[in-house]
A and B are shown apart, each in its own frame.
Chain A
Amino acid sequence: MSEPALSFLDRPNSYIGRSVPRPNARRLVQGRGAYVDDLRLPRMAHVAFLRSPRAHARIVRIDTAAAKAAPGVVAVVTGEDLAGICKPWVAVLSHFKGLRSPPQHPLAIGWLRWAGEPFCAVVAASRAEAEDAVALIDAELEPLPVAVDMEAALAPGATVIHPELGDNLAFERTLDVGDVDAAFRTAAAVVEQTFHVGRHTGVTLEPRALVAEWNPGEEKLTIHHSFQAPHMMQDIVCKHLGLPEASVRVVCGDVGGSFGIKVHIYPDEMATVALAKLLARPVKFVADRLESFVSDIHARDHRVKGRMAVDAAGAILGIEIDDLTGIGPYSVYPRTSAVEANQVVNLVGGPYRHANYRARARVVFQNKTPMCQYRAVGHPIAVMVTEGLVDLAAAAIGMDPAELRRRNVIADDAHPSTAASGIRFEKLSHQRSLEKLLAMMDYDALRREQAALRARGIHRGIGLAAFIEITNPSAAFYGVGGARISSQDGCTLRLNPQGGVVAAIGVTEQGQGTEAVIAQVVATAVGVPLSDVRVVTGDTDATPYGGGTWACRAAGIGGEAAWQSGKALRRNILEAAAVMLQTNAASLDVRDGSIVDADSGAERMKLSEFGRVAYFRPDTLPAGLAPELVVTRHYVPKDYPFAFTNGVQASYVEVDTDTGFVTLIKHWCVEDCGTVINPQLVDEQIRGGIVQGIGAALFEECRYDGQGQMLNGNMADYLVPMAAEMPDIDVAHVVTPTASSEIGAKGAGEAGTAGAPAAVINAINDALRPLGARVDSQPAGPQAILRALGKV
C-alpha cells in the first residue's frame, strides 16, 4: 500500500512545530509530583554516610560499636562489608587509548582520596538517627600528603595518588594537523592567551536520591532513582551485584533536575543498592546539600593555553592549544572523565575554516571531588578559548569582531565538511545564524550606543560567541569504547479500545519536555488528538531498551523512534480498517481520532469504534484478519557519529569599574537544532542553558584550599544565578533539519550552556579593553575584574 502522507509537514492536524503545553506538568504545579524522596515504602530504612574529612588519608582503624548501639540503627557497614556484595568498577573506555583509573569500591577500603569520599554507612529507622549514629563512628585516619593543584600534581616529586600507576597522569591526547609552525610563521598577527575555567557543579535543586528494595521472595531488586539513564543503571547493577537483568528494575519517576549530574555511577548510590540487598528491605538515600557539594560530580576545571594565527585580512591560519584538566582521584564510571578534555580537542576552532591545528590535552588525578560530564561537556571551554582568541585576533589587526567571524565561519554551502580536528558536519548554518543574530540585536546601533556611553564614562561591552554542539550521539560516543550505554532507542505504541494511544519509550524526562515532544510526534504520526496520547518513560520493566536522556538525544533519537512507530501503527490500523470498510487502505487516513476518507476527510469510523471491534468483537472480523495494534520501532543514527548543531550568542554588559560588578543588560541567541518540534520548549531549554552558562561565567566555582578542602560547599557560599541578576534572553532559530532522520530534529539542551560563558567573558573584555585590562578566568567575579583593573 502507499503511504497516505509521508512527511509530518503534510500531516493534517500536525502537532509538530507547535508550542503545546506539557501534558505531564500539571501535577507538578499542584504539588503532586513523585520525586524519589516523596516515596514511602513498608519497612523503609534510611542511610547516611561517613565521608572522609581529609583529601588524602590511610584508614588505620574503624570502631563502629557505639554507632551500632545507637537508637534506631539497623546496620553499620564499612567498605569490606560491602565488597562481597558489590564488585568494584574501573572507569576506562577502549577508544581513549591509555586512559587509566584504579578500581573503585562503593565504600572506600584502606585509603581515602578526596574529602567527601564515603567509607562507612549507617542504616537506621530515620535519616536523623542514621546521622546521629554516623557521628559515633570512631575512625582513626593517618593523614597523607595531597596532590591538589593539577599542575603541581604532574610535577616531579608530586604525591602519587595511586602508587601502582606510577604518576598522576590519567590520559593524554595529542593531535597535529596541517603545518601549524608554518601557519604561525607566516601570520600577520599571532595572539596568545591562557584561559582558566573554574571547577563548578550541577546543583540540581533536587539532590541525588534513590530508594533500593530487594525482595528475596521474587528475587527482584527495584531501584527508584533520580536518574537520566535507567537501562544503564540496570546493566551496571546487574554486572556489579551479579544479578540477571530480569531481577533488576530501575524506575525513574519525577527527576528534579539533572544536567548530566544524574547519569553517573556514584559510590554512595551503589552502596545503597548493596545495602538493600544485604538487609532485604527498602533503603532510601537522599543526599543532603552539604554532601551533594562534595560528592556530586564536579565539572570543568581546565587550564588552556591557546594561540591563534591570522593573516592581514583576518583569515584564521592556525590554532594551537594545550589543555590541562584535573579530574579528582578516579575517572568516573562508566563514561569516564576523559571525555571533556577529548571534546575540547575536538571542538576548539569548530565554527571556523582553518587547516592547521595542534592540540594536547592532559587529564590529571588529584585529591578533589571526582570530575565528569556536566551539561555541554567540553563545549563551554572550547568556545571560551576559540572565541577569546578570535576577539584578540580581531583587536590585533584592528578589525571588528563580528566582521572577523563573518570572514571565517564555515560557509553554509560548504557542507558536508570536516573540521581540522576530524569531526564531520552534515550541514550547518553559521552564516545565516550570524547575520540573523546581528540583525536581531541591531549590532551597529549597539556599537554606537556603546561609544556614546563610553564618552560619558560608562563602560559597556558587546561579546559574541559562535559555537557548534554535539547532539544525537551514535555508538561512537560510548558504545565503541566498550561502555554498555545504549545509543539506540525504541518506542512501543499501543492503541487502546477507546482510541487512545500509550507510548512507552526509552528516552527519559527530567523537565525538558521529553514526554510532551514524544506525545506530539505520536499524535501527529498516528492521527489522534494530543490529549489521547499517554507517554510512559523511565521504567526498565515497561519501556523498550534505550539510552535515556543525555547529550541532547531525546528529541532527535527518541522523537524519530516515536515517529517511525506511529507511522507503523497507523498503517496497521488502516490495513484492518480497509478490510472492515471494504475499501483499500490507501484511500483512508487517521485524523483527529477518526478513520477518514483520505481525499474528502469524511469520517468513516471513529477509532473508538475500531478499537471496540478489534478488541471485543474480533469474531466479527473476516477470518485471517488479526490487527496488530501494538508496534515497536527503534532508531539509531548511523550515517554520522553525531548530529552537530550550530549557533551564535551575544551578550551586552555594563562593568562598574569601581566595584567590579557586571550588569547583564541583554543576551541573544540564534541557534539551529534542525526541525523544532515544540518551539516554546526549545526556547526554554536554550534560556535555561544560557543561565547555567552565565553562572559559570560570573558566579559558580568550587573553591578549594591547598589541603584539598572545598571551602564553599553550601548553597549560601556557592553562588548560582538568581532571578534578579539575570537578563531577558532573546532566542531565534535557523532551521536546518538533519537528513539522518525523517523528523530532522537535532538536540537543543546544551547549546545555551555551550556559548553563554564565552559571550559574557568577551563582553566584559570588550568593556575593559580601552582600560587596558582583561579577564581570562571563569568565574569573572568583581574581585577578578578589580584585580584586572589594578584596583586590588
Chain B
Amino acid sequence: MSAGPDNARVVTLTVNGERVSRRVAARAHLVDFLRDTLDLTGTHVGCEHGVCGACTVRVDGMAVRGCLMLAVQADGAVVETVEGLTDRGAIADLQEAFLARNALQCGFCTPGMLITIAELLEREAAPSRAAIREAISGNYCRCTGYQAIVDAVERTLAARAGRAT
C-alpha cells in the first residue's frame, strides 16, 4: 500500500478470482469500491450504516458488510461478490430454489441474502426454520416477508442432503 494525493492508496486484492490493483480514496468503503471502481453492481447499498445487509460480500471466506469496511482494509484480501459466486456455480442450486419458490420480489436484497445464506449452508447441514430465520435476520427484505426465502433455503438443504446420501 502506498500513499498518494487526496489520501488515496493503491490496494491490491483478489476479487472474484481476479487480481486487481487500484488507487482508492482512503475514505472509500469496500462496497463503493466494488460498485464504482470495479463496476460490480450486483452488490447493493441499502443503508450505508451496517444494518440492512444489502451490501454483504465475502472477504476471506466470511460474509462481511461492504459498507462497514474500507476498501483499503481489503488490501491483500480475497473478496467474492454475487457475480463471482454465480460464475463459479457455487450457489446455482440456491439460486434455482429462489426462482422456483419466488423468494425474491424486487431483488434488491437478494445478492446480500444469497451471500449470507451461502455461508449458512457451508456451516450447517440441517438448520431448523427458526435457525434459518435467525441466520438471515441481519438481511432486511422489505418485499417478501421472508417465508419464501426460508422455504427456498430448506429446499436447497434437502436437495443437498439427498445428493450427499
Interface residues of A (CB under 8 A from B): 21-22, 25-26, 28-33, 35, 37-38, 40, 128, 202-207, 254-259, 288-289, 510-513, 680-681, 684, 687-692, 714-716, 720-724, 726, 728-729, 752
- Contact call B105/A511, Cβ cutoff below 8 A: yes
Residues of A within 8 A of B137 (CB): 722-724
Instruction: Assess A31 versus B147: contact at CB under 8 Å? Given A22-B99, A259-B142, A726-B133.
Output: no
Query: Per a CB cutoff under 8 Å, which of A31, A687, A692 touches B148?
Result: A687
Instruction: Assess A691 versus B46: contact at CB under 8 Å? Given A31-B86, A205-B108, A206-B108.
Output: no
- Contact call A255/B95, Cβ cutoff below 8 A: no
How far is B98's CA from A680's CA once the two chains are assembled, in angstroms? 13
Interface readout for B17-31 with A: 1 if CB under 8 Å, 0 if not?
000000001010000
Instruction: Assess A21 versus B145: contact at CB under 8 Å? Given A256-B44, A715-B51.
Output: no
B107 at the interface (CB under 8 A from A): yes
Considering only CB atoms, which chain A residue lies closest to B91 in the complex? A29
How far is B47's CA from A722's CA once the two chains are assembled, in angstroms? 15
B56, chain A: closest CB distance, angstroms? 12
Residues of A within 8 A of B109 (CB): 205
How far is B144's CA from A259's CA once the two chains are assembled, in angstroms? 12
Considering only CB atoms, which chain A residue lies closest to B149 in the complex? A723
Instruction: Assess A31 versus B102: contact at CB under 8 Å? Given A716-B49, A723-B139.
Output: no
- Contact call B150/A29, Cβ cutoff below 8 A: no
Contacting chain A: which of B35-43, B71-79, B155-163?
B35-43
- Contact call B51/A716, Cβ cutoff below 8 A: yes
- Contact call B141/A680, Cβ cutoff below 8 A: no
- Contact call A35/B44, Cβ cutoff below 8 A: yes
How far is B44's CA from A37's CA once the two chains are assembled, in angstroms? 9
- Contact call B108/A257, Cβ cutoff below 8 A: yes
- Contact call B102/A681, Cβ cutoff below 8 A: yes
- Contact call B49/A31, Cβ cutoff below 8 A: no
How far is B56's CA from A649's CA once the two chains are assembled, in angstroms? 35
Interface readout for B88-108 with A: 1 if CB under 8 Å, 0 if not?
000000010011111011111
Instruction: Assess A726 versus B146: contact at CB under 8 Å? Given A22-B99, A30-B83, A206-B108.
Output: yes
Among all A-B residue pairs, the 8 with the closest Cβ atoms? A31-B42, A28-B107, A256-B108, A511-B106, A511-B105, A691-B145, A31-B82, A38-B41
- Contact call B106/A255, Cβ cutoff below 8 A: yes
A/B interface sample: 23 pairs, CB < 8 A: A28-B107, A29-B95, A30-B82, A30-B95, A31-B81, A32-B42, A128-B25, A204-B142, A205-B109, A206-B44, A256-B107, A257-B108, A258-B106, A259-B142, A684-B105, A690-B145, A714-B51, A715-B47, A715-B52, A720-B140, A723-B137, A726-B146, A729-B147
B66 at the interface (CB under 8 A from A): no
Considering only CB atoms, which chain A residue lies closest to B83 in the complex? A31
How far is B99's CA from A28's CA once the two chains are assembled, in angstroms? 10
Residues of B within 8 A of A289 (CB): 46-49, 52
A205, A257, A513, A687 pick with most chain B CB within 10 angstroms:
A205
Since A29-B98, A40-B39, A207-B46 are in contact, a sample of 9 more A-B pairs with Cβ atoms closer than 8 Å, ordered by chain A residue number, is A25-B102, A29-B104, A256-B107, A257-B142, A688-B143, A715-B140, A720-B142, A723-B150, A728-B129
B114 at the interface (CB under 8 A from A): yes
How far is B102's CA from A491's CA once the two chains are assembled, in angstroms? 25
A560, chain B: closest CB distance, angstroms? 23
- Contact call B106/A257, Cβ cutoff below 8 A: yes
B109, B137, B144, B145 pick with most chain A CB within 10 angstroms:
B145
- Contact call A22/B141, Cβ cutoff below 8 A: no
Query: Per a CB cutoff under 8 Å, which of B27, B40, B51 touches A128?
Result: B27
B: interface residue count bin:
35 or more
Residues of B within 8 A of A721 (CB): 145-146
Residues of A within 8 A of B15 (CB): none
B40, B82, B141, B146 pick with most chain A CB within 10 angstroms:
B146
Considering only CB atoms, which chain B residue lies closest to A29 in the complex? B95
- Contact call A511/B107, Cβ cutoff below 8 A: yes
Considering only CB atoms, which chain A residue lies closest to B85 in the complex? A31
- Contact call A254/B106, Cβ cutoff below 8 A: yes
B25, B35, B133 pick with most chain A CB within 10 angstroms:
B133
B52, B104, B107 pick with most chain A CB within 10 angstroms:
B107
Residues of A within 8 A of B129 (CB): 728
How far is B54's CA from A288's CA once the two chains are assembled, in angstroms? 14
- Contact call A684/B144, Cβ cutoff below 8 A: yes
- Contact call A25/B99, Cβ cutoff below 8 A: yes
Residues of B within 8 A of A752 (CB): 145
How far is B107's CA from A206's CA once the two chains are assembled, in angstroms? 10
Instruction: Assess A723 versus B133: contact at CB under 8 Å? Given A40-B39, A206-B46.
Output: yes
Residues of A within 8 A of B49 (CB): 289, 714-716
Query: Per a CB cutoff under 8 Å, which of B98, B132, B146 touches A691?
Result: B146
B43, chain A: closest CB distance, angstroms? 7
How far is B150's CA from A687's CA once the two chains are assembled, in angstroms? 13
How far is B24's CA from A209's CA once the two chains are assembled, in angstroms? 25
- Contact call B51/A33, Cβ cutoff below 8 A: no
Residues of A within 8 A of B63 (CB): none
- Contact call B82/A205, Cβ cutoff below 8 A: no
